[in-house]
């Protein structure tokens, strides 16, 4: 199975799980308060949000008062709760007098819990997944203090912003940065100021407000890389390295007597000496050797660079030490809650950037294909569950937004009723829900359209 299809399968599995459990939250509270649930669907059995267009199911079976089914339009799912304005826009039922088993007949606090049920389940699911991942695999983090030679720059945008190979990241907006994995996300803070140490001197780099837009335009992902020494993997048939007698596993320590602790610094030294013979100090079998190597006119020595496949392999080679934290079963739960809160805060931070036109972050919006790409192209259960937990957090947050048609919209109407003591007019709710659904459709078309646009732009 190709990498793309592995991602597709993982995404569909996660999406189905999240939809079923989210709608199951609504179902649970509805049944708890003896409210009739007429439909429970994974995916829509109509062309969302138009309930009268192409209404058919791939599968359905009625059990008791509820029709359980799988729709054909795989962009979500829903439960149809009797006596409630929802995606189905069933106006005929609402025109009749309310029945005791209908949503509109229930007390305000009961209706509030019914509407919050999906969000509650998504949050609890994220807590549980994160806890079980930490219990099963623990947590690996690379302290920035382990990068004795600073960071390597891996994107031209980083050079443009003012970063250089070997810079040591000290703090961002005055906050000490402890882990390498936190670096990229911290740069998305509004008007971030990065404090660095460069060759023993303290410097600052100001991150522009449209940093997100610049990153999108360069199609970049990570601006930095973990510095790795220049180690020979394989020799080209012809080149200065082969002629000089270099071998697989040779580690370059210096070029012309100047230390080059990373591949980037070695490559820069090669570029500065194009077409020349350089004296390479190398480490081989525990001993230092000096070899004269003829560089090509393009500044290459004629070998491919070895890189570890992952952080763990780099640790085994002794390049740095990863901080591993193991969790007992009961320790994992509070740690899982903490991790979920951290992920939520990070997502809210990114969401605020999207709402600010000056950042240009809205240009990075994506739909289902973008979400599919978050999953690994090879099967990795740890990564699968981590991404699924994050999407569960995202689903909870997005559904809590006060937009009619989303759970948050119904929550707002219910809170207004609880505060004022009067129900919001059902006609107002109906019109607001229609407007909200159209807005959601527009956002969905835009986000997925951006995916299509990027696909054709490749």
Q: H-type helices in 101-227, by residue range?
A: 108-137, 156-161, 183-186, 211-217
User: Is residue 326 in a domain?
Assistant: no
pLDDT of residue 377: 87
Q: What's the pTM value of the predicted model, to 2 decimals?
A: 0.84
Q: Is 383 helix (H, G, I), strand (E, B) or coil?
A: helix
Question: Are residues 126 and 181 located together in one domain of the fold?
Answer: no
pLDDT of residue 110: 95
Cα(59)–Cα(38) distance, integer angstroms: 15
Number of helices (H), then strands (E), belonging to the chain: the values are: 14, 18
User: Is residue 113 in a domain?
Assistant: yes
Domain boundary residue, one of 172, 200, 225: 225
Chain Cα centroid distance, residue 214: 19
Which residues constitute the domain of residue 79?
Answer: 3-135+370-457
Q: Which residues pair with 402 in a beta bridge?
A: none
User: Is residue 71 in a domain?
Assistant: yes
Cα(253)–Cα(221) distance, integer angstroms: 29
Question: Are residues 154 and 110 located together in one domain of the fold?
Answer: no
Question: Are residues 67 and 149 located together in one domain of the fold?
Answer: no
Domain CATH for 239 = 2.30.42.10
Question: Are residues 395 and 415 located together in one domain of the fold?
Answer: yes
Cα(51)–Cα(433) distance, integer angstroms: 13
User: Is residue 362 in a domain?
Assistant: no
Question: Are residues 48 and 107 located together in one domain of the fold?
Answer: yes
User: Is residue 364 in a domain?
Assistant: no
Q: H-type helices in 170-239, by residue range?
A: 183-186, 211-217
Q: Is 196 left (phi over 0), alpha (psi -120 to 50) or beta?
A: beta
Task: Tell me the chain's radius of gyration from C-alpha atoms.
Answer: 28
Angle formed by the axes of helices 108-137 and 407-420, to 10°? 140
Domain boundary residue, one of 162, 193, 225: 225
Question: Are residues 181 and 100 located together in one domain of the fold?
Answer: no
Question: Are residues 28 and 48 located together in one domain of the fold?
Answer: yes
Question: Are residues 151 and 164 located together in one domain of the fold?
Answer: yes
User: Is residue 72 in a domain?
Assistant: yes
pLDDT of residue 1: 57
What does the buried/exposed string (b/e) look like for 42-59 if buried means 16 or more CB atoms within 10 Å of the residue's CB?
A: bbbbbbbbebeeeeebee
What does the buried/exposed string (b/e) look like for 208-232 if buried means 16 or more CB atoms within 10 Å of the residue's CB?
A: eebbbbbbbeeeeeebbbbbbbbbb
Question: Are residues 416 and 435 located together in one domain of the fold?
Answer: yes
pLDDT of residue 87: 56
Instruction: Render each residue's pLDDT in the chain as its tens digit; 458 residues.
Output: 578 889 999 999 999 999 999 999 999 999 999 999 999 999 988 887 777 888 889 999 999 999 999 999 887 889 999 888 665 555 566 667 778 889 888 999 999 999 999 999 999 999 999 999 999 999 988 898 888 888 888 888 999 999 988 899 999 998 898 998 888 888 887 778 999 999 889 999 999 998 888 888 876 667 888 888 889 999 999 899 999 999 999 999 999 999 998 888 899 999 999 999 999 999 998 899 999 999 999 999 999 988 776 677 777 777 788 889 999 999 999 999 999 999 999 899 888 888 888 888 888 888 888 888 889 888 899 999 999 999 999 999 999 999 888 899 989 999 999 999 888 887 888 888 888 888 888 888 888 888 888 777 76
Using alpha carbons only, what angle is made at residue 281 by residues 279 and 283, rounded to the nearest 5 degrees? 150
User: Is residue 360 in a domain?
Assistant: no
Domain boundary residue, one of 167, 191, 225: 225
User: Is residue 122 in a domain?
Assistant: yes
Question: Are residues 126 and 8 located together in one domain of the fold?
Answer: yes
Other beta carbons within 10 Å of 169: 23
Count up the domains in the chain and report the number: 3
């Amino acid at each position: 199975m190709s990498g793309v299809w592995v991602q597709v399968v993982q995404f569909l599995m996660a999406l189905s799980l999240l939809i079923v459990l989210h709608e199951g939250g609504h179902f649970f509270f509805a049944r708890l308060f003896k409210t009739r649930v007429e439909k429970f669907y994974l995916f829509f059995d109509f062309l969302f949000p138009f309930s009268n267009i192409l209404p058919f199911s791939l599968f359905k079976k009625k059990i008791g008062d509820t029709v359980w089914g799988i729709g054909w339009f795989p962009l979500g799912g829903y439960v149809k709760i009797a006596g409630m304005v929802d995606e189905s826009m069933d106006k005929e039922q609402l025109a009749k007098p309310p029945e005791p088993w209908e949503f509109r007949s229930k007390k305000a606090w009961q209706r509030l819990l019914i509407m919050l049920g999906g969000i509650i389940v998504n949050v609890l699911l994220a807590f549980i997944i994160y806890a079980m991942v930490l219990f099963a695999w623990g947590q690996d983090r690379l302290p920035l203090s382990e990068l004795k030679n600073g960071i390597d720059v891996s994107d031209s945008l980083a050079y443009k912003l003012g970063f250089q190979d070997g810079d040591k990241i000290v703090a961002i907006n005055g906050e000490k940065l402890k882990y390498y994995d936190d670096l990229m996300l911290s740069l998305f803070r509004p008007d971030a100021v990065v404090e660095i140490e460069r060759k023993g001197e303290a410097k600052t780099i100001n991150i522009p407000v449209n940093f997100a837009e610049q990153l999108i335009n360069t199609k970049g992902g990570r601006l930095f890389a973990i510095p790795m020494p220049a180690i020979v993997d394989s020799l080209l048939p012809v080149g200065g390295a082969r002629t000089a007698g270099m071998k697989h596993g040779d580690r370059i320590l210096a070029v012309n007597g100047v230390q080059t602790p990373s591949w980037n610094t070695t490559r820069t030294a090669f570029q500065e000496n194009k077409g020349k013979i350089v004296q390479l100090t190398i480490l081989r079998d525990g001993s230092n050797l000096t070899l004269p190597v003829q560089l090509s006119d393009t500044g290459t020595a004629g070998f491919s660079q070895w890189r570890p496949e992952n952080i763990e392999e780099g640790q085994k080679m002794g390049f740095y030490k990863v901080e591993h934290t193991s969790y007992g079963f009961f320790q994992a739960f509070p740690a899982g809650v903490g991790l979920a809160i951290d992920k939520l805060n990070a997502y809210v931070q990114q969401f605020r950037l999207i709402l600010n036109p000056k950042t240009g972050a809205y240009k990075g919006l994506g739909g289902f294909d973008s979400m599919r790409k978050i999953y690994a192209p090879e099967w990795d259960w740890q990564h699968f569950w981590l991404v699924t937990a994050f999407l569960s957090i995202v689903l909870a947050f997005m559904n809590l937004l006060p937009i009619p048609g989303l759970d948050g919209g119904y929550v707002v109407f219910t809170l207004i009723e609880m505060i004022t003591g009067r129900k919001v007019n059902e006609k107002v709710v109906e019109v607001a829900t229609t407007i909200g659904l159209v807005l959601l459709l527009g956002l969905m078309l835009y986000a997925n359209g951006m995916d299509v646009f990027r696909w054709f732009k490749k």
